[in-house]
Structure 1
Amino acid sequence: MVVRPGSFAVLLPVKSPGSGKSRLSALPDADRRRLAAAFATDAVSVCTTTPGVALVVVVSDDEAFAASLAGEGVATCADPGAGLNAALRHGAAFAHDLAPGLQPVALLADVPALTAADLAEALDHARAAGRPCFVTDADGTGTTLYTASYDAFDPRFGAGSADAHRASGALPLTGSLATLRRDVDDLAALADAVTLGVGAATAAALPATLRA
C-alpha cells in the first residue's frame, strides 16, 4: 500500500455485494449483487485518479471483497458493525494511524457516475473553506460526501443527514457536482446515473434494459 501525494484520505464504506443495494430489489439478486460490486469498484477507481487524494480506505464487512478492491493507494479495514457512522469513524482512525497528516473524507460508494473532476472540485472547495463540509445528494435531503479535520470529524449519515450535517455546523458545498450528488437508491436514480454516464464496471454490470 502506497500513500500518494495529496491532502485527503477518502473513506469508502462498502457492504458485501450480497447485502448491498437492497433497495434495488426490483432487480434479480444476481444483477443487484453485480451492481453493488461495480459501484464500489468504480468509486475506488475514481478516487485513485483524483488529484489531492493520497489514500483510499475501504471499510467493509466483506473481507474477501474488500481485498479485491485493494491496490496501490488503497487500504482496507473491517467494519466494526455498529452502523455507518461508526464505520466511518473507525476508518478515519485507521487512516490516521497510516498517515496522520491526511484529512478524512467520507464518500458513499453508491455514486456510479462520479467523475474525478467533480470529486476534485469538491475537495478543492473543502480545502479552501477550512471547516467541516458536506455535499448534499441530488434530492437535497441526504449526503454523499462529508469531510472535516481528523479532530473535528463527526459524520452524521442516515435519514435527514443533510440537515444533521448542517446543524452540526458543516458547510454545504455549492456548485453543480452532478456526478457526486447522484447517489443510487432505486431504479429511477440508476437510470439518471446512466444518463450522466457511469463508470466502466457499472456499465458492464447493467442489465440490458438499463443500458443507454
Structure 2
Amino acid sequence: MGTGVDLLVPVKMLHSAKSRLLGAADGGVGDRARHAQLVVALLLDTMSAARGADGVRRVIAVTSDLVVSAAVLAEGHTVLAEPPEGGLNTALRHGSEQLLAADSSVRVGALQADLPALRSDDLAEALVEAGAGRAFCADRQGTGTTMLIAASGSPLRPEFGVGSAARHAGSGAAPLAGRRPTLRCDVDTEDDLREAARLGLGEHTRAVLAARCHRDRHAC
C-alpha cells in the first residue's frame, strides 16, 4: 500500500469538544453553533497541514459526529467511525487496530485535532527525526502530547490525557527534541489560540475568527 505514516486524528462529539474554548468564536457569548464552527476549523486546518507533509500517507479523522464527518469528507479526507464506548485512547486504539488489520506493515500515528497553526514542514521534520522507531512530540508546556508515532507494524499504544508526555516516554517512546513550535501548539484555551495566531493560523480558523471580528470590532 505504499510508504508513509497514517495519522489518526480523534475528534469528540461537537457538543462536548473544546469546552474551555467556548466563547472564543463569539466574543464570550458562548454560542454553541459558533463554537462548533471553531472546533471544526481547528480540525480542518490540522488535517490540511498534515496531509501536505512529506512522510504522511493518509490523514484519518476518528469520530462519530456527523457534522464533523461531513466537513472532513468535503475536504477530501478519510473518516473512521469512533467505537461506541468512546474516549480518546479507546478511539485511537480502535483506529490503530483497524489500520493494522488491513495492512500489517502500516505505520500508525496519532495527531491532536487542535493544531491550527501547524506547518507541513514542521511535521515532516518531526517524522524524519522520529526515524523508524516509536516517538512522540510534547506540547509547548512539555507535559502533554501533540503527536505519537508507532514503529511500522506495531500498535499505537496511546496514553493521552493529563501528563501524557511522561507516560509516553515511560512506555518507550522517544521524545522529539526539535523545537517546531507549530507542532507543539495545541489549542485548549484562548491563550493557546492567541499563541497559535502569533505563529500563523490556517485558513479555516482565520475565517471563523474573521467572522467574529466582523460582528464585534472590539473582539479583534
Fold shared, TM-score > 0.5 on shorter chain: yes
Deviations 1:105-156 (A, max 9, x none): 1000111100100111111111x2x321000001111000001124242111
Alignment correspondent of 1:174: 177
TM superposition shift of 1:17: 3.0
- Describe how 1:21-170 pairs up with structure 2 within 5 A: 21-27=18-24, 28=30, 29-70=32-73, 74-80=77-83, 81-126=85-130, 128=131, 130-149=132-151, 150-170=153-173
Q: What whole-Å deviation, never above 9, does each CA across 1:34-64 have from its counterpart, x for those lacking one?
A: 1101011111211221111111211002134
- Whichever of the two has the greater Rg, that structure is 2
Find the counterpart in structure 2 of residue 20 from structure 1. 17
Q: Helix, strand or coil for the counterpart of 1:32? A: helix
Matched, 1:8 2:5: yes
Corresponding letter in the other structure for 2:69: A
CA contact (8 A) 1:21 1:185 kept: yes
Q: What TM-score, normalized by structure 2, do the two folds share?
A: 0.86
Alignment of 1:193-204 (within 5 A): 193-204=196-207
Q: What are the ranges of 5 or more consecutive residues in structure 1 without an aligned counterpart? A: none
Residue identity in the other structure for 1:168: S
- The one-letter code matched in structure 1 to 2:44 is T
Name stretches of at least 5 consecutive residues in structure 2 with no aligned partner: 25-29
Aligned residues: 206
Cα contact 1:7–1:101 (8 A) shared by 2:
no
* C-alpha separation in 2, matches of 1:125 and 1:78: 31
Q: Which amino acid aligns with 2:91?
A: A
Give the Cα–Cα distance (whole angstroms) in 2 for the partners of residues 16 and 152 of structure 1: 25
Query: How far apart, CA to CA, are the structure 1 residues paired with 2:194 and 2:219?
Result: 7
Per the TM alignment, residue 10 of structure 1 is displaced from its structure 2 partner at its CA by 0.5
Q: 2:59 and 2:94 mapped to 1: Cα distance?
A: 14
Contact 1:63 1:78 in 2 (8 A): no
Q: Secondary structure at the match of 2:14?
A: coil
Aligned pair in 2 of structure 1 residues 101, 72: CA closer, same or farther (>3 Å)? farther
Give how far 1:25 is off: 2.7
Query: Structure 1 residues 140 and 162 mapped into 2: Cα distance closer, same or farther (>3 Å)?
Result: same
Matching residue's letter, 2:129: H
- CA gap of 1:203–1:99, structure 2 versus 1, over 3 A, is farther
Report the aligned-residue RMSD. 2.0
